[in-house]
Amino acid sequence: MVKAVVVDQPGGTPTVREVTLRPVGAGDVRVRIAAAGVCHSDLSLVNGTLTPQFPVIMGHEASGVVAEVGTDVTHITVGTHVVLNWATPCRACWFCKQDEPWLCSAVEGKVSADTGIRDGDETIYAALGVGAFAEEVVVPATDVVTIPDGVAFDVAALMGCAVLTGVGAVQNTGRVKQGESVLVIGLGGIGLSAVLGAKLSGANPIIAVDLSPEKEALARKAGATDFILSDPKISRQIRSLTEGRGVDHAFECVGHPATIRMAYGATRRGGQTTIVGVGSKDQEVVFNPLELFHFSRTLTSSIYGESDPEKDIPKLVEHLQDGNLDLDLLITHRVTIDGVPEAFARMSSGEGARSVIELDLG
Ligand SMILES: [Zn+2]
Ligand SMILES: [Zn+2]
């Protein structure tokens, strides 16, 4: 039996329950979770934006230590430190063969799955097929990425989702080059990771925008050269920072019509606006045909930072070890396994960046 954070119904309160994991199969590993980040997608599982099967164990952004390996697993040993990968591509579908693993058909739409977790006779589903807000998980060995022992578990956890997504949006989707101007709107874990990515790419200026003035210090620490409090009229301020043109690259990390318009309006003619935030299907963003033609901007999205975790997590580890990626600043709160409701409350009110659940490795 392991403790896990379970939500019973849409809008339900996350509560800790004891569940039984499936036995370790030939191709599986059992991972003792050390740290797990509370991601916006976890909140989306509860508030109706995503529609999982219930009851569901939340969590997908996590790190830990391999405690048991299946008989067919030869490349990972007990004691190996790993980051969980919730979007393992199948490497066989059309998209994977096109070298676009972040669009893998096998991963698309995977919100929850029956991975063999039970409470008595009751099936408990695992969020994104992972269910990482738990003392342990059993997953296919392909769902973990090995990291060096020296990497702290808390920042390693964030590499599994927020950092891949934010840094990847800038580096893989935007292909931001040295000296280009970057705007990031929305400074949660992903937005701050995008600022970190922009700094890694040598962007200048890096303009960060958020509703909360308390984000300024975090944004500047992450590498922002300028901070602007969100306002519908920010595009004038942004033009004044970019010789009147607007930014080469805007990254919208909110998923809201107003901030998408804000990002588009702040992008220079011929520049690129990238939607990173996940919005709802019940809202609309309006563009007029003349502006689409005249400004000649590329409007695109970045799914999972267009990352391939197996290749990109080791790159992030290198940047971390070289001192070029300060992931500690992303962690503004630490909680125990009971602390998910308070982490959700902070996320809803836009307070802080990531809350990380820390677990006892025993
Ligand atoms: Zn996530
Ligand atoms: Zn695939």
Per-residue confidence in pLDDT tens, the chain, 362 aa = 999 999 999 999 999 999 999 999 999 999 999 999 999 889 988 888 888 999 999 999 999 999 999 999 999 999 999 999 999 999 999 999 999 999 999 988 789 999 999 999 999 999 999 999 999 999 999 999 999 999 999 999 999 999 999 999 999 999 999 999 999 999 999 999 999 999 999 999 999 999 999 999 999 999 999 999 998 789 899 999 999 999 999 999 999 999 999 999 999 999 999 999 999 889 999 999 999 999 999 999 999 999 999 999 999 999 999 999 999 999 999 999 999 999 999 988 888 899 999 998 87
| DSSP H helices in the chain | 40-47, 94-97, 153-159, 162-168, 189-200, 215-222, 234-241, 257-266, 289-295, 309-321, 340-349
Residue 90 within a domain? yes
Tell me the CA distances in angstroms from 120 to 25, 127, 144, 206, one per residue in order.
Answer: 20, 19, 28, 53
Same domain membership, residue 70 and residue 14? yes
Residue 307 within a domain? no
Residues 336, 339, 344, 346: is their CA dihedral positive or negative? Answer: negative
pTM attached to this predicted model: 0.95
Residue 50's pLDDT is: 85
Which residues are paired to 233 by β-bridges?
none
* 140 Cα to the center of ligand 1, angstroms: 19
CA 2 to chain centre: 25
SS3 241: helix
Residue 47's pLDDT is: 87
Same domain membership, residue 143 and residue 182? no
- Under DSSP, the state recorded for 249 is E
* 237 Cα to the center of ligand 1, angstroms: 32
* 128 Cα to the center of ligand 1, angstroms: 9
Same domain membership, residue 94 and residue 229? no
* 259 Cα to the center of ligand 1, angstroms: 20
* 91 Cα to the center of ligand 2, angstroms: 5
* 156 Cα to the center of ligand 1, angstroms: 13
CATH number where 294 lies: 3.40.50.720
* 1 Cα to the center of ligand 1, angstroms: 26
**Residue 278 contacts residue 126 (beta carbons within 8 Å):** no
Q: Which of 116, 119, 113, 115 is nearest to 18 (CA)?
A: 119
* 61 Cα to the center of ligand 1, angstroms: 6
**Residue that finishes a domain, picked among 265, 286, 302:** 302
Same domain membership, residue 175 and residue 152? no
Of the listed ligands, the closest to the CA of 62 is 1
Residue 313 within a domain? no
* 9 Cα to the center of ligand 2, angstroms: 31
Residue 316 within a domain? no
Residue 280's pLDDT is: 87
Residue 292 within a domain? yes
* 128 Cα to the center of ligand 2, angstroms: 16
* 88 Cα to the center of ligand 1, angstroms: 14
Same domain membership, residue 177 and residue 137? no
Same domain membership, residue 174 and residue 254? yes
* 94 Cα to the center of ligand 2, angstroms: 7
* 284 Cα to the center of ligand 1, angstroms: 24
* 41 Cα to the center of ligand 1, angstroms: 5
Same domain membership, residue 139 and residue 286? no
Q: List the domain range (segments joined by +) for residue 74.
A: 2-160+326-358
* 119 Cα to the center of ligand 1, angstroms: 25
Of the listed ligands, the closest to the CA of 96 is 2
Residue 215 within a domain? yes
**Residue 62 contacts residue 284 (beta carbons within 8 Å):** no
**Residue 19 contacts residue 68 (beta carbons within 8 Å):** no
SS3 145: strand
**Residue 150 contacts residue 18 (beta carbons within 8 Å):** no
Same domain membership, residue 153 and residue 29? yes
Structure tokens at 350: 């836009």
**For residue 169, what are the contacts with CB-CB under 8 A and spacing of at least 6?**
190, 194, 197, 251, 253, 274, 276, 302, 305, 306
Residue 310 within a domain? no
* 38 Cα to the center of ligand 1, angstroms: 8
Same domain membership, residue 280 and residue 168? yes
The answer, yes or no, to whether the previous bond of 341 is cis (omega within 30 of 0) is: no
Same domain membership, residue 291 and residue 154? no
If one counts the domains in the chain, the total is 2
Phi and psi for 29 in degrees, rounded to 5? -130, 150
Of the listed ligands, the closest to the CA of 163 is 1
Helix (H) or strand (E) holding 27: none
Same domain membership, residue 148 and residue 9? yes
* 109 Cα to the center of ligand 1, angstroms: 14
SS3 247: strand
Exposed / middle / buried, residue 177 (Cβ in 10 Å: 0-12, 13-18, 19+): exposed
Residue 111 within a domain? yes
| DSSP H helices in 4-90 | 40-47
CATH number where 351 lies: 3.90.180.10
Same domain membership, residue 194 and residue 142? no
